[in-house]
C-alpha cells in the first residue's frame, strides 16, 4: 500500500453533489454583493446572494469552501448553484466566505481558518439589519475543510465575549444548523486511529513523518516544538468531544463511492473523506440527543432530506 502525505492537510477533492439537477443557473435578478470585508485581512471577504423578492428579514446559509486550509476561494461555487438557486427561491439568503489559509509557523495552524469563520458569524450578526438578515436564523455548511469548520461552529460553545470593548466580539457565534459534505469528524488527528480502519497501523509505520505533518497542521515547524502542547491543542480541536445536547441539527454526507471507499484507506482522499468520519459524528450526536442525518450510502441518501430542505426545516 503506497502511503504518502496522509496528514499533510485536508485535501480538496471533487465534491459530492447534493442535488441531481444540472446546468441550473442562479436567477438573473438575484442581487449579488461581492467582496465585502468582514475583517482587517485582505483575504477575509465574502459574497452575498439575496433573493430577488424579500419579505422582511431573511434566514442565511453560509458556505465555507474546501481546499486543504491552504487554497480554495469563495468564487468556486459552480457545484453549489443548484442549492443556491433553491435556497433563494425559498427566501433564504446565501453567502460564500473566504478565510485566511493556515501556515506552519504561527502556533495557530488550522485555528487561523476557524477563527476567521467565527469572526464572519459575528460580523454578519452585528450587521444583520444592514443586509436584512435574520440574525437568529443562520446556518452554515461546507465541503472537506469547510465542512470541518461548519461542524466546529455547530458544536463549540458560544465564543461571544459580552464584556469586550469590541462590539463584534460581543456577538454570538452559535448557528441554527450545519451541513458537512465529505467531512472530517475531528481535528484531533490522533483520534483518527480509533475512527478509521487501518489508521493505527499506518501511523505506526509512518510515525515520524506523520508527527511532523501533524505539527505543521497545528502551526508548528517541528514535532519537537509541538509535543509539549499536544494534548492542549488537540483537545481544543476535537469536535466530537464538543458535542452536547444543546447543539443544533447537523446533516452529513460522506457517501461511499469508488473514490471514497469504506474499507482501509489507500490514498489521501479516502483517508480524509472516509464514510467513518460522518458515522462517528452521527454516533456522538445521537448519543447526546442532537438531531442528525448521516448519509454514507444511496439508501441513506433517499431516506434523508436534501440539504436545501434541511436548511428550510431548521431555519425557521
Does the residue 229 lie in any domain?
no
Does the residue 73 lie in any domain?
yes
- Domain span holding position 173: 31-181+238-259+276-314
What predicted TM-score, i.e. pTM, was given to this entire model?
0.90
75: domain CATH number is: 3.40.50.1820
Does the residue 59 lie in any domain?
yes
Task: Judge whether residue 266 has pLDDT over 90.
Answer: no
Does the residue 296 lie in any domain?
yes
Q: Nearest CA to 86 among 149, 143, 19, 139?
A: 19
Q: Nearest CA to 111 among 202, 236, 286?
A: 236
- The pLDDT tens digits of the residues spanning 77-133 come to 999 999 999 999 999 999 999 999 999 999 999 999 999 999 999 999 999 999 999
Does the residue 92 lie in any domain?
yes
Q: Which three cell numbers mark 138?
A: 443562520
Does the residue 3 lie in any domain?
no
Please count the structural domains in the chain.
Answer: 1
Q: Report the C-alpha gap between 144 and 142 in whole angstroms.
A: 7
Going by the DSSP 8-state scheme, the letter that residue 168 receives in this structure is: G
Task: Judge whether residue 15 has pLDDT over 70.
Answer: no
Does the residue 1 lie in any domain?
no
- The pLDDT tens digits of the residues spanning 149-206 come to 999 999 999 999 999 999 999 999 999 999 999 999 999 999 999 999 999 998 999 9
Which of 43-57, 158-172, 186-200, 274-288 shows the lowest mean pLDDT across its residues?
Answer: 43-57
Does the residue 21 lie in any domain?
no
Amino acid at each position: 500500500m503506497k502511503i504518502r502525505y496522509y496528514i499533510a492537510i485536508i485535501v480538496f477533492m471533487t465534491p459530492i453533489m447534493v442535488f441531481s439537477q444540472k446546468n441550473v443557473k442562479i436567477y438573473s435578478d438575484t442581487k449579488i454583493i461581492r467582496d465585502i470585508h468582514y475583517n482587517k485581512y485582505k483575504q477575509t471577504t465574502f459574497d452575498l446572494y439575496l433573493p430577488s423578492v424579500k419579505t422582511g428579514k431573511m434566514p442565511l446559509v453560509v458556505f465555507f469552501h474546501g481546499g486543504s486550509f491552504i487554497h480554495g476561494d469563495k468564487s468556486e461555487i459552480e457545484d453549489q448553484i443548484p442549492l443556491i438557486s433553491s435556497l433563494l427561491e425559498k427566501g433564504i439568503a446565501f453567502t460564500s466566505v473566504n478565510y485566511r489559509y493556515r501556515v506552519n509557523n504561527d502556533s495557530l495552524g488550522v485555528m487561523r481558518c476557524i477563527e476567521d469563520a467565527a469572526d464572519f458569524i459575528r460580523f454578519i450578526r452585528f450587521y444583520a439589519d444592514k443586509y436584512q438578515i435574520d440574525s437568529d436564523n443562520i446556518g452554515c455548511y461546507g465541503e472537506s475543510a469547510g465542512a470541518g469548520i461548519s461542524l466546529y461552529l455547530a458544536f463549540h460553545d458560544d465564543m461571544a465575549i459580552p464584556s469586550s470593548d469590541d462590539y463584534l466580539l460581543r456577538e454570538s457565534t452559535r448557528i441554527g444548523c450545519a451541513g458537512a459534505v465529505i467531512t472530517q469528524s475531528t481535528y484531533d488527528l490522533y483520534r483518527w486511529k480509533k475512527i478509521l480502519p487501518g489508521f493505527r497501523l499506518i501511523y505506526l509505520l509512518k510515525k515520524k513523518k506523520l508527527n511532523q505533518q501533524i505539527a505543521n497542521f497545528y502551526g508548528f515547524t517541528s514535532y519537537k516544538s509541538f509535543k509539549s502542547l499536544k494534548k492542549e491543542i488537540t483537545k481544543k480541536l476535537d469536535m466530537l468531544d464538543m458535542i452536547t445536547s444543546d447543539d443544533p441539527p447537523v446533516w452529513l454526507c460522506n457517501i461511499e463511492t469508488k473514490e471514497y471507499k469504506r474499507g482501509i484507506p489507500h490514498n489521501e482522499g479516502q483517508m480524509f473523506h472516509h464514510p467513518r468520519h460522518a458515522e462517528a459524528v452521527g454516533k456522538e450526536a445521537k448519543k447526546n440527543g442532537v438531531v442528525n442525518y448521516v448519509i454514507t450510502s444511496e439508501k441513506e441518501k433517499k431516506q434523508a432530506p436534501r440539504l436545501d430542505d434541511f436548511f428550510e426545516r431548521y431555519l425557521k
